[in-house]
Every structure is written in C-alpha cells, then in structure tokens.
Amino acid sequence: MEFNQKEPIYAQIIDDIKFKFMNGTYKPGQEIPSRRELAKSLGVNPNTIQRAYREMEDMNLIVTARGQGSFMTSDTGMLDSLREEALNASVGQCVGMMRSFGKSDEEILDYVRRTLERSGMR
C-alpha cells in the first residue's frame, strides 16, 4: 500500500480495508490482520493502526473480540450501504466532470452506453 500526503495514514488504512470489504477480499465476519501484523506489513507506527481500528470499531465496520482478534462486521446491510455510498460518489464525480465539460444528460447517457458496449459489459 502506498500512502499519499493529502490525508492521514490512518484514514487511508480505513479506506483500504473498506475497499477490500466492498470488493470481497474481506468477507463478512472474516478475521482481519492483527494490529501488530498490519503495522509491520505496512511499515507504519502501531499507534496509527490502533487509531484506524478504533475508528472502524466506532463505525461498526469491525468487531474486536478480546483475545480472539478483529473481524469484519457480519452485517451485510453495512456492506450494501458502503457499496451504495461508493457507487454514488463515483458516478456523481463522473457526471459532475462530464457536466463541467458542457455535456447534456443525453450525451452523458450516450457516453455510458458506448463505454459499456466497448468493454463488453452489455
């Protein structure tokens, strides 16, 4: 994982774990690396990982069982909500950019259709 200078490292770690949850790398209820393991593998201060895990616990994204480890939430509604939020943000950003280029809604839809056809997604 490469960190950027624009946002705190703990926030980037949270985003990475959220993404891995949304794309299926981490399954609901699956154990995630311990704080110590993750700090070592990412080469960051363990306190940074501790903060990220604490924030994720506050979000109900992970659950920590004393002496057993930390686990992704089993709440599939949370997973659906995270995916919906990410998709809305992504599409909103794309539509905003296209509108800033002066594209109409019909032109935007046409671009999306052509892109889907070119990529074989239709």
Global pTM?
0.82
Paired tokens of 30: 């699956």
Q: Which among 12, 30, 121 is positioned nearest to 75, based on CA atoms?
A: 30
- Express each pLDDT in 57-113 by its tens digit: 999 999 999 899 999 999 999 999 999 999 999 999 999 999 999 999 999 999 999
Asked if residue 46 and residue 61 are part of one domain, the reply reads: yes
- Crossing angle of helices 9-22 and 46-58, rounded to 10°: 50
Number of H helices, E strands in the chain: 5, 3
Encoded amino acid at 38, one letter? L
Contact 6, 51 (CB under 8 A): no
Paired tokens of 48: 């940074």
Residue 1 counted as domain residue: no
Paired tokens of 82: 């995270």
- Phi, psi angles (nearest 5°) of residue 78: -65, -45
Asked if residue 58 and residue 13 are part of one domain, the reply reads: yes
Distance, C-alpha 55 to centroid of its chain: 14
Asked if residue 46 and residue 20 are part of one domain, the reply reads: yes
Q: Is the pLDDT of residue 16 over 70?
A: yes
Last residue of a domain, one of 40, 55, 74: 74
Total number of domains constituting the chain: 2
Contact 108, 98 (CB under 8 A): yes
Residue 35 counted as domain residue: yes
Give me the domain span that covers residue 61: 9-74
CATH, residue 29? 1.10.10.10
Asked if residue 85 and residue 59 are part of one domain, the reply reads: no
Asked if residue 84 and residue 65 are part of one domain, the reply reads: no
Asked if residue 66 and residue 109 are part of one domain, the reply reads: no
Residue 31 counted as domain residue: yes
Band of residue 120 on the pLDDT scale cut at 50, 70, 90: confident
